Amino acid sequence: MGAANTNGAGAEDSPWAPIIHDVLVRADVRQVSYVPDAGHTRLIRMCEETGTMRTVVLTTEEEGVALSAGAWLGGQRAVLLMQSSGVGNCVNMFSIIANCRAPFLTIVTMRGEYHEFNPWQVPMGSATEQAFEMMGVRTIRVNTLDELGDLMASAAAMAFNGDQAIALLLPQRLLGAKKWVK
C-alpha cells in the first residue's frame, strides 16, 4: 500500500530529479539530508550515486536544518530534502539559520494541494509558505518543468553565494497528483 503519482511519472522516473541533481552537482553540494519520502526517491538515489555527495537519513526534518548549519561551519554546502508536512517540524530550528546567517537550501515536495487524497496533509500544505516566510526563509515556487532548472540554479546561488535561506517548492501539480493504491 502507498501513494502513487497519477500523471505517469512515479518516484522512480521523476523528470524533475535529474534537473535538480545537475544543479546540486554544479553548486558543489556535498551533503544531502532527508527523511525517507517516496517523492524524493529518484533524487536521493542519484545523490547517493554521485561520488562527491554524502546522503544522510534523518529521523526528523529539523535535524537537517542543524546538519545544514554544521556543514556550512565545516566549509561544505548542504541541502535538505523534505515534504511540506515536515516544515512544521523545523520552525524552531530555523532560528539557528537566522541567527547565524547561515546559507540554507531546502527542496520541498508539496502535499495538501492539487488532488490531495489525504486530508491530514492539507493543513501544513496550506501553511508551508507562510511558515517559511515567518522564519525568514524565502520561498520559490516552481510552476512548470521548463522553469525548474533556472529557478533551482537561482535558489542555489542565492543560498550559497548570497548567504540566504531559500526553500524551493515543488507543487503537487508539477509532481503529479498522488493516489492511494493497495
pLDDT tens sequence across 154-182: 999 999 999 999 999 998 777 766 555 56
Residue 180 lies in a domain: no
Distance CA 107, CA 125 (A): 14
Query: What pTM was computed for the model?
Result: 0.88
- Count the domains in the chain: 1
Report pLDDT for 121: 63
CATH code of residue 133: 3.40.50.970
d(CA 117, CA 161): 39
Give domain status of residue 4, yes or no. no
Percent of the chain at pLDDT exceeding 70: 80
Name the region of 28 (left: φ>0; alpha: ψ -120 to 50; beta: rest).
Answer: left
Tally helices (H) and strands (E) across the chain: 8, 8
Q: Which of 6-10, 60-64, 113-117, 128-132 has the lowest mean pLDDT?
A: 6-10
Q: Which residues of 116-144 are buried (b: 16+ CB within 10 A; e: fewer)?
A: beeeebeebbeebbebbeebebebebbee
Domain membership of residue 75 as a residue range:
14-175
Element (H, E) at 22: helix 17-26
Query: Does a structural domain hold residue 8?
Result: no
Model confidence at 77, in pLDDT bands (50, 70, 90)? very high
Q: Is the pLDDT of residue 20 over 60?
A: yes
- Which amino acid is present at 103? P
